[in-house]
């Protein structure tokens, strides 16, 4: 009897494993800590599928993974300028809104719609979160706030002061760091003028070449934590990264000794769902997008992620019921000006890469 029971158990396990292996798979490529894993598991149960989920640290890394062709991704969540680039290279397919019943049931902020609605790539994306880029700083050091306020409308210049003795963090991202340097100089973050780009490069080199060299470093998601822990004095970060740390510290009941400064004129970005042209499961990809457009799901997801939702109903619930009434939570307050990054050309993108490579190698 024991032998028969063992055989039956092994057969049952084999059948379960076989059923699991035969489930449809949805391949998703996203940023780190940018989607609630519990909701992904809920989607898997609801649709009897397996979500193969990968994370990256930048838009450029996302582009590389797609172009390597190792995985036929069904869903990606890049930023607007990368969406524009992938669209121009015929690497995306249009979104069929008829397959998104939840899309018609929600209202997107006008400030979010303005970032893509009239662009050629607008039919190829469904917005996910949006926000600004600004400066997260350590409030333990009184000199930091003074340095920011002294710059007034050119607050980004606090990141590039060659005489500063503050510990500064810059994004390991050509688009963001070069863009911040251009805005410090009063230029568009989308500038393609060589003289302006050379000025921006000199500005970055000036702060990197301070003595000791360790006063300036490049990073990505780690910058927000280093500010929060007091290991850096100020750093270029996305607004959502700042709020992620605020919510984490509030949850742990830890003292918050950091803040966020959004210049009156800065970049505004929007990340969005896209379906790559290589997708092998387009209908399921639409189901995944539709799932995250459900208001209840979107509230749970936004509460877990910490970034600003693009859906006004979700934002209202978070502000009124979850008490997310924080300064800078809405990325474009009245009276401010914002500009989105745009993909200009491959030559321009390579020029930005070359600038960051040159300043780092020096």
**pLDDT, tens digit, 9 for 90 and up, residues 271-301:** 999 999 999 999 999 999 999 999 999 999 9
Say if residues 328 and 237 touch (Cβ distance below 8 Å): no
Say yes or no: 124 and 236 in one domain. Answer: no
Say if residues 134 and 105 touch (Cβ distance below 8 Å): no
How does pLDDT run across 209-265, given as a tens digit for each residue? 999 989 999 998 899 999 999 999 999 999 999 999 999 999 999 999 999 999 989
Distance CA 178, CA 171 (A): 9
Beta strands (DSSP E) in 139-182 are 168-171
Task: Tell whether 195 is covered by a domain.
Answer: yes
Say if residues 125 and 273 touch (Cβ distance below 8 Å): yes
Give pLDDT, residue 34: 96
Least confident of 59-68, 95-104, 149-158, 171-180: 149-158
Say yes or no: 74 and 215 in one domain. Answer: no
Say yes or no: 289 and 345 in one domain. Answer: no
Give pLDDT, residue 141: 86
Give pLDDT, residue 21: 54
Residue 151 has pLDDT above 80, yes or no: no
Give pLDDT, residue 54: 98
Residue 9 has pLDDT above 70, yes or no: no
Which tokens is 263 given? 């210049």
Say yes or no: 309 and 165 in one domain. Answer: no
Domain harbouring 54, CATH code? 3.40.190.10
Task: Tell whether 13 is covered by a domain.
Answer: no
Give pLDDT, residue 16: 44
CB atoms within 10 A of CB 46: 10
- Residues 6 or more apart whose CB falls under 8 angstroms from that of 66 comprise 29, 73, 76, 86, 91, 276, 278
Task: Tell whether 8 is covered by a domain.
Answer: no
**168-171 vs 234-238, strand pairing mode:** parallel
CB atoms within 10 A of CB 337: 11
Say yes or no: 150 and 219 in one domain. Answer: yes
Say yes or no: 262 and 145 in one domain. Answer: yes
**What pTM did the predictor assign?**
0.89
Compute the C-alpha angle 257/223/147, nearest 5°. Answer: 60
Mean predicted lDDT score pLDDT of the chain: 92
Task: Tell whether 9 is covered by a domain.
Answer: no
Task: Tell whether 6 is covered by a domain.
Answer: no
Say yes or no: 139 and 216 in one domain. Answer: yes
Task: Tell whether 65 is covered by a domain.
Answer: yes
Say yes or no: 240 and 345 in one domain. Answer: yes
Say yes or no: 165 and 39 in one domain. Answer: no
Task: Tell whether 10 is covered by a domain.
Answer: no
Cis peptide before 212 (omega within 30 of 0): yes
Q: How many helices (H) and strands (E) does the chain have?
A: 14, 13
Supply the range of the domain harboring residue 312: 21-130+270-332
Say yes or no: 262 and 148 in one domain. Answer: yes
Phi, psi of 189 (to 5 degrees): -65, -10
311: left (phi over 0), alpha (psi -120 to 50) or beta: beta
Say yes or no: 52 and 169 in one domain. Answer: no
Give residue 153's pLDDT band: very low, low, confident or very high (50, 70, 90). Answer: low
Give pLDDT, residue 18: 45
Total domains in the fold of the chain: 2
Say yes or no: 258 and 140 in one domain. Answer: yes
Task: Tell whether 222 is covered by a domain.
Answer: yes
Stretch 307-326: mean pLDDT, rounded? 96
Give pLDDT, residue 6: 46
């Amino acid at each position: 009897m024991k032998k028969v029971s063992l055989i039956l158990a092994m057969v049952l396990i084999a059948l379960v494993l076989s059923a699991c292996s035969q489930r449809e798979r949805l391949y998703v490529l996203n940023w780190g800590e940018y989607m609630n894993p519990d909701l992904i598991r809920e989607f898997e149960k609801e649709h009897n599928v397996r979500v193969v989920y990968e994370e990256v640290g930048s838009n450029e890394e996302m582009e590389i993974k797609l172009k390597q062709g190792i995985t036929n991704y069904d869903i990606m969540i890049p930023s607007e300028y990368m969406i524009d680039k992938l669209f121009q290279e015929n690497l995306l397919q249009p979104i069929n809104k008829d397959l998104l019943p939840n899309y018609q049931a929600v209202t997107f902020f006008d400030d979010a719609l303005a970032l893509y609605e009239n662009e050629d790539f607008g039919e190829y994306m469904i917005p996910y979160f949006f926000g600004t880029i600004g400066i997260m700083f350590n409030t333990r050091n009184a000199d930091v706030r003074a340095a920011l306020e002294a710059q007034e409308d050119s607050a980004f210049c606090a990141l590039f002061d060659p005489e500063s003795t503050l510990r500064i963090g810059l994004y390991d991202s050509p688009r963001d760091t070069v863009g911040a340097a251009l805005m410090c100089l009063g230029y568009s973050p989308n500038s393609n003028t060589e003289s302006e780009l050379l000025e921006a490069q000199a500005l970055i080199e000036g702060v990197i070449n301070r003595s000791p060299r360790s006063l300036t470093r490049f990073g990505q998601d780690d910058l927000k934590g280093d500010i929060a822990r007091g290991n850096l004095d100020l750093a270029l970060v996305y607004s959502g990264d700042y709020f992620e740390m605020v919510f984490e510290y509030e949850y742990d009941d830890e003292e918050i000794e950091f803040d966020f400064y959004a210049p009156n004129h800065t970049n505004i970005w929007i990340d969005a769902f896209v379906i790559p042209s290589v997708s092998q499961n387009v209908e399921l990809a639409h189901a995944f997008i539709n799932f995250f457009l459900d208001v209840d799901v979107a509230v749970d997801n936004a509460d877990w992620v910490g970034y600003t939702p693009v859906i006004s109903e979700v934002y209202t619930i978070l502000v009124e019921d979850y008490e997310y009434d924080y300064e800078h939570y809405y990325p474009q307050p009245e009276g401010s000006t914002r500009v989105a990054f745009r993909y200009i050309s491959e030559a321009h993108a390579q020029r930005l890469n070359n600038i960051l490579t040159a300043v780092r190698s020096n």
